[in-house]
Chains A and B, each alone.
Chain A
Amino acid sequence: MKADPQLVKGTVRLLVLQLLARESMYGYQIIQHLRGRSEGYFQLGEGALYPLLHELEHQGFVRPEWQDQENRPKRRYYHLTGKGGKELARRLEAWRGFTRAVDSVLEARYV
């Protein structure tokens, strides 16, 4: 199933924060996880992820760190900050409220 771009746009920030809450990752790794875990639903343009990561960095939600790799270019890992953790909690709550409301409308029986 192809992802609705509008839906992806609204949720990708939440998903990235959630992934980084579990472990620190570099950009390409985040893309791989998004694709793998959503079973290919989130086909995010690879170049499109980095502006988002840089925005999160400027907002203080993530903290980048260069790590050297053997025989490969070094990678820029992103760690979730305390501020990012709070932002994630806020977005999760909003998301859950939103899905509950959407579900309750969609699943309501009309008589």
Chain B
Amino acid sequence: MSDLDAYLAQLRTSLDVTPARAEVILAETLSHLETKAAELQEAGLSREEAVQAAIEEFGDPKITGRALTRANGRHRTFRRMRRALLVCCLLIAGSAWGFFRFALFRTHLGEGSSGIVTRPQAARATRPKLTSLPRFDPSRWDSHQLEVQGRDLRAFDLQQRRSDLLEASFDSHTQWPADLPASFSPARIMEMGKSPGLGVRALHRKGITGRGVSIAIIDMTLLVGHAEYGKRLRLFEELHSMDKAASMHGVAVASIAVGKTVGVAPEADLYYIADSFFTSNPLPWVSMLWQRLRAPGDPAASATTTKAPSRVVLDMADFRWTARGIRRVLEINRQLPRERRIRAVAIEIGWRPGGTGYREVTAAVEQAKKEGVFVISSSLSNTHGLRFHGLGRKPLSDPERPASYYPVTTWGPGFDKPMLLIPMDSRTTAAPTGGSDYAFYRHGGWSWVTPYLAGLYALACQVKPDITPELFWEKALETGTEPDYSIVPPVSRALVRQKMAIRFDAVAAEARNRQNAEGVQRMLTAKYREATGKPAPEVSEAEFRDLMIEVMADQETKRYTGREARIVTPLKLMEALAPR
């Protein structure tokens, strides 16, 4: 090894820099030493003497190496220490962040983040072609007769079908013929239906939007990214869900509660638990199929998830899952900071004694009451003693004016006891077929009422954070307006009779399941005496059925002559809760 190589080797061992940097330093040092040596050689020194002199001039390799190390970055040991320090800092910061999120706030649902555990796919947008557009029959108990969501109607001549079209439910994917009746504009109807109505948008303009309030919904699967509520969704969990694609029901109720254009509380946070409500037990499914086979077309045997829950749906529901949903909401709530606690849970179904899980869901509601959470379900009159019903509205009437609304009398309870009337029919909601799709539902159900109430309660929580369900209801009734019964569409005696026949048969069938034929007869004659004050006549079973249906129809008609119902007036309600 030459002196030059030996010097460079010593210098290399003194360097504590990256290999690439060491190469640069050694190359530069070699260049310097060679230049210097060449100059000395020109002055008369031998190569060895010149190299030796150049090396001496350059200085001690250890001292030079240390100086070059300092100039070219930190010492490797120092770098290791620095890296270790950085790791420690990150660990400490991570622990502090964890402490902040899990211990201090005890939540993993921070602002801007969410607990969305799955993203169900959008529902199918188009449906098979219709051979003709059905006619709306007002004498039928089922008002959902013209549902043309996703249908292609372009081949139909609808010029003379205005009255039918005004009873139709449709969506963004309904394809209309070019020629429609002049006064029928689907776009206008859909736009008008977007308003929650009754002055709610005026409240929004005043900043009463539900901001800072959280509510929950337990319902069917959601399209989590829909533009209406996607940004308000803080949590989405599937607890007991059988749907792979988003359901029209879940999407609609979420948008009615917190939708940015169609919702009552567009700035409230939403926690959503998906529950299909149905039992996992196969026996009721088999029973339903058997009923359908035995009596095809019988509405009492049609289980549908898209309409007001029928008796069959209730029979097939398992409310133990609903109870678990409520308890899950309470569990999440305990982890949220006090100011972001969930104040209401909307559940778009009701339960009754004897149903599967009735005891569990009732207990869960009681627990929610203790924890300050208002469970708003179709069973509100049973769980809280608070009665409500939905309001009808003609599609082209102004949704802001109370006079546009009328109480629905084709179904639901009478008005002989205090009750709140809530917008329900002719509503536009988010649709499950795409993130910016909408659907217009000409006829609604209590499923459209409970999320409305939850949204309204969120607004009340914003203006009066210490509000209770009882005070909310009391003030809502106090400030509500009496409906104009003169605009209520008349219900035909035939329709009431039809409805009572279904009710009579259901009661009789249920009694038959529990008692013998003699016991059933005794019960029915007692009911007759109770209703009429007269003993039941000695007639055949079929004749008795007809008589009893007439009696029930009389009672039903009387219930609707009461004057205790009040249309909710959100503006007056908020003023009463938080007077200026």
Contact = CB atoms under 8 A, between A and B. Distances in A.
Among A46, A52, A58, A76, max chain B CB count under 10 A is at: A46
B43 to A, nearest CB: 14
A47 B58 contact: yes
A73 B64 contact: no
B38 A54 contact: no
A47 B35 contact: no
Contacts of B57: 45-47
Contacts of A48: 59, 64, 67
B449 interface: no
B70 interface: yes
Contact of B30 (A51, A55, A58, A73): A73
Nearest to A54: B71
B31 interface: yes
Contacts of A98: none
A72 B30 CA distance: 10
Contact of A73 (B25, B27, B63): B27
Nearest to B39: A28
B35 A50 contact: no
Q: Which range holds the interface residue count of chain A?
A: 10 to 19
A75 interface: yes
A28 B36 contact: yes
B64 A27 contact: no
Nearest to B63: A47
Interface string A31-59: 00000000000000111101110110010
Interface string B13-54: 000000000001101111110111010000000000000000
A75 B59 contact: no
A76 B32 CA distance: 9
B59 A46 contact: yes
B72 interface: yes
B31 A74 contact: yes
Contact of A54 (B32, B58, B59, B68): B68
A30 to B, nearest CB: 10
Contacts of B71: 50-52, 54-55, 58
Contact of A76 (B31, B59, B64): B31
Contact of B31 (A51, A52, A58, A73): A73
Q: Which range holds the interface residue count of chain B?
A: 20 to 34
A72 B58 contact: no
A20 to B, nearest CB: 16
Interface string B55-76: 0011110011001101111000
A46 B67 CA distance: 12
Contacts of B63: 47
A93 B64 CA distance: 31
A27 B32 contact: yes
B68 A50 contact: yes
A28 B32 contact: yes
Nearest to B29: A50
Nearest to B11: A47
Given A27-B28, A54-B68, A76-B28, A47 B59 contact: yes
A79 to B, nearest CB: 15
A54 B35 CA distance: 19
Interface string B314-328: 000000000000000
A45 B55 CA distance: 11
A46 B28 CA distance: 12
Contacts of A26: 31
Nearest to B17: A54
Given A46-B36, A46-B58, A75 B31 contact: yes
A55 B73 CA distance: 9
Contact of B38 (A50, A51, A72): A72
Contacts of B34: 72-73
Nearest to B32: A28
Interface in A61-95: 72-76
A58 B72 contact: yes
B73 to A, nearest CB: 8
Among B24, B28, B68, max chain A CB count under 10 A is at: B28
B50 to A, nearest CB: 14
18 contacts: A46-B58, A47-B58, A47-B59, A47-B63, A47-B64, A51-B67, A51-B68, A51-B70, A51-B71, A54-B68, A72-B34, A72-B35, A72-B38, A73-B30, A73-B31, A73-B35, A75-B31, A76-B28
Given A46-B58, A46-B59, A47-B67, 20 more contacts: A26-B31, A27-B32, A28-B32, A45-B57, A46-B32, A46-B36, A46-B57, A47-B60, A48-B67, A50-B29, A50-B64, A50-B67, A51-B68, A51-B70, A52-B71, A54-B25, A54-B71, A54-B72, A73-B30, A76-B27
Interface of A: 26-28, 45-48, 50-52, 54-55, 58, 72-76
3 cross-chain pairs, A with B, having the tightest CB-CB distances, nearest first: A47-B59, A51-B71, A47-B64
